[in-house]
Amino acid sequence: MDLGGLGDKAKKALDSEKGEKMSDQALERGEQFADDRTGGKYDAQTDKAGDKADDLLGRRDT
C-alpha cells in the first residue's frame, strides 16, 4: 500500500463514529500524559490544546 492509500484509510477511519471515539481517547491520553509530566501545572492549556486538536480533526476537506 502506498502512503496515499494509507492516508485515505486514516481519513475514512476518523470519519466514522468509532474513529471519532478513538481520536477522542487518544487526545485524552495525550492531555493526561502532559498533565502527569507537568504535575497538572498547565492543565488549562492542555485542555485547550486538546479541544483545538479535536476541532481540527473533525474538519473535513471541501
What does the alpha-carbon distance between residue 27 and residue 22 come to, in Å, rounded to a whole number?
9
Per-residue pLDDT at 18: 74
How far the first Cα of the chain sits from its last, in Å, is 25
Q: What is the pLDDT of residues 5-54, one digit of tens each?
A: 777 777 676 666 777 788 888 899 999 999 999 999 999 999 999 999 88
Rounded distance between C-alpha atoms, residue 17 and residue 48, angstroms: 23
Query: What pLDDT is stored for residue 42 in this prediction?
Result: 95
- The pTM (predicted TM-score) of the whole model is 0.65
